[in-house]
Amino acid sequence: MELPDFMSYTNKFSQSEFVEKISRIAKRAGAKLVYAALILFYTLQSDQVSAKDKALIIGALGYMISPLDVIPDAIPIVGLSDDLAVLLYVLKTVWTDVDPSIKERAKERLSKWFDEDEISEIDNLFD
């Protein structure tokens, strides 16, 4: 799958819309997508991340929030696959700057929406 120009979605990102969408789609999206989104969201709040990486993160999260993307979110099963691809691409790019405490914070939040079996999806995040 070729990634879309997710940087054109930077104006779509807002903290409140992110929280609303991730809460609404959590179960349907799966633990892997939600975990990646939460890590990026919490990394965005860190002062340890470069402005360039923050711009990438904002673009990816804006793409996830936007109802206009390559594969519409409303399509069952595959509708969020493009969102996951964009999130994982950006997460791989910034992974070395992600503090372990951010990963733990995201995992704690994940446990509010998913049970242990579902959370085990994140063990192979980039697979």
Contact 6, 86 (CB under 8 A): yes
Q: What is the pLDDT of residue 1?
A: 57
Contact 22, 38 (CB under 8 A): yes
Q: What is the pLDDT of residue 127?
A: 84
Contact 98, 39 (CB under 8 A): yes
Q: What is the pLDDT of residue 73?
A: 67
**Rounded CA separation 87/127 (Å):** 13
**Per residue in 65-119, pLDDT tens?**
887 777 776 676 677 888 999 999 999 999 998 999 999 999 999 998 899 999 9
pTM, 2 dp: 0.83
